[in-house]
Amino acid sequence: MEVILAKSAGFCFGVQRAVDTAYQHVEDGKVYTYGPVIHNEEVVNDLMAKGVRALDGSADFSKLSGSKVIMRSHGAPKEIYDLFEKNNIEMIDATCPFVKKIHNIVYKDSTDGKEIIIIGDACHPEVEGIVGWCQKKPVIIGSIEDAADFAANISAGIDGDNYSIVSQTTFNYKKFKDIVDIIRKKLYNVNVYETICNATSVRQKEAREIASSVDAMIVIGGRHSSNTQKLYEISKKECENTYYIQTLVDLDLTTFESVSRVGITAGASTPDYIIKEVHSSMAELSFEQMLENDESKVSIRQGEIVEGTVINVKSDEIVVDIKYKSDGIITRNEYTNTPGVDLTELVKVGDPITVKVIKTNDGEGQVLLSYKRVAAEKVNEKLEAAFESGEILTGKVTQIVNGGLNVSYEESRVFIPASLVSDVYEKNLDKYLNQDIEFQLTEFNPKKRRIIGNRKKLIVEQKAEAAKELFAKIEVGMTIEGTVKNVTDFGAFIDLGGADGLLHISEMSWGRVENPKKLFKVGDVVQSYIKGINGDKIALSLKFDDTNPWINAEEKYAVGTIVTGKIARMTDFGAFVELVPGVDALLHVSQISYDHVAKPEDVYKIGDEIEAKIVDFKPEEKKISLSVKALLPVPEVSEETAEETEE
């Protein structure tokens, strides 16, 4: 018997992501899923045995505060997400990115006033979730008959721009096209989004091709799995002997005793182990056949994916037994994109490994294999989903190249141009080497090897959100902490965690500041207060009211008080003496000495400390007058001088 197993059978990216997420959190305690995480009873029952319970819309969310709830791959209405937040429930969103994309489309278009048409099963949880993101009641069409009824009840010529059409991700692609054609005959220029998952289209096409060439067809999947039901419908149309099973237990092997060719496919929520059980049962060979195959080995061809076992590892090379007449070789460059890595630290003898055949003979009789190309092909589905949904990815920078960064994401290489690395120009990108960075994909074309990432967009969005949060909570007079970002001749810019504030030179001290760079350096943490907010500009100050040196000045600087200060600056008519930072007093040239002094610099220099008496104080004008002469003994007047004075 010849058994043909569909290459696309089993978990799709979205389902695998949801299942992996659920199993990652089984040990956390108080973990739930919203609805069955996928439509497969085997997986759901296994999670339940591990303590993960499924909830539905009737659950009392108020009693789940502090719990974790994993959102199913099908998603849910917006009101459910709001309930999680309202009841302080940590929601781990495992919604398929392709489904999430539909939520975003219908939410935006319905908010903009468009009528939404959803092509899919109205009772399916994915469709129920999509409906819950529409801002007005949508039209749901599940069949050709529904489409005909809808078209018959609308007036020809209605402005089609007011309608948007989306589809359940697992809907039959041909049927979707037929329904759209019916609607377009009445609604011109209607906006159609082709939201059927690419994996679904590939799976359905492959099922149709296999079913048309075999004597019997087996479709494996959960009883409630919509995409499996559609695979069954497609296969049944091509092959009358099509069987829908959930596990091997449902399969009667005697039915296939006289069958020469059997095809097998499986829905997107079918675990690999169930597919392997069915496949193994259908593909059993006699002992003689197995022995014969073992002696003759297998045949391979370029581009084929094969399973092997590691039999030797060197720092730059891996030898693999692939059950062929020659062993296979994986070079370092074909194992990973990380340069200079020691393969002995990553792989050990005995490890199973899936590889791709690059050359069946390298000239020395060995088979050249690639591990990273298999990994890259697997990750391409994830990258495509991330590109469609705008998901934020994290990768490690492995190379600094001309014009940007090469980032490794699960053995796939993403290029981030220098202009998209940051929101500011960075001449030297070396600091990013070996760093994990976040990015979004702005271009995905693996055939042309163009997978382009954008980090700048995330930074801009994060800063905008941080600025929004900052301005929502700050007000004039509030004390705030920040980090010095830049220092100029006129002031310092302080990063407040969302926006920059300017600490002007005039607000750095109650006293005179000659050079801000002598007071601050980049990285200093500063406590200041907000003096003013004007649009997106924030003015800061260090001149706190309780440190104002003029507080109680009338007592501290009363006339007759003897004070000490430093010469701060000089003019032709006198010197200004700093008593404390922010309080200057004038020492008039006539009050320096009983002797004639032409200019202050004839007696003092900047920085000299002097003692003087306060001879005048005008608090409303903040003016203080000093006299050194008042502390000096009055010189005796000679008789000659007195006579001259009298004359």
Active-site residues: which are they? 126
CA distance 183 to 47: 43
CA distance 68 to 586: 71
CA distance 40 to 287: 35
The residue type found at 8 is S
CA 596 from centroid of its chain's CA atoms: 77
The residue type found at 236 is K
Tell me the three state secondary structure of residue 408: strand
Locus of tokens 């609308």: 154
What DSSP assignment string belongs to 510-535? SS--S-GGGT--TT-EEEEEEEEEET
Locus of tokens 């690419």: 198
What DSSP assignment string belongs to 71-128? EPTT---HHHHHHHHHTT-EEEE---HHHHHHHHHHHHHHHTT-EEEEES-TTSHHHH
The angle that helices 372-389 and 97-111 make with each other, rounded to 10 degrees, is 20
Query: Which DSSP helix (H) or strand (E) runs through 47?
Result: helix 41-49
Which candidate, 99, 100, 60, 66, places its Cα nearest to that of 83? 60
User: Token pair of 16, please?
Assistant: 């695998």
- Alpha-carbon distances, residue 76 vs 18, 100, 129, 501, 591 (angstroms): 14, 10, 4, 42, 86
In degrees to the nearest 10, what's the CA dihedral of 103, 109, 114, 120? -20
Which candidate, 144, 279, 163, 265, places its Cα nearest to that of 211? 265
Which candidate, 434, 435, 404, 436, places its Cα nearest to that of 420? 404
In degrees to the nearest 10, what's the CA dihedral of 384, 388, 393, 396? 40
Could you give phi then psi for residue 621, rounded to 5 degrees? -100, -5
Residues 6+ apart with CB under 8 A from 241: 215, 216, 217, 259
User: Token pair of 563, please?
Assistant: 């004070």
Is the Cβ–Cβ distance between 220 and 207 less than 8 Å?
Answer: no
User: Token pair of 406, please?
Assistant: 């090469």
Sign of CA dihedral 482, 483, 486, 492: positive
CA distance 105 to 99: 10
* C-alpha angle 505-510-514 in degrees, rounded to nearest 5: 40
Locus of tokens 């197995």: 290
CA distance 166 to 114: 12
Is the Cβ–Cβ distance between 151 and 186 less than 8 Å?
Answer: yes
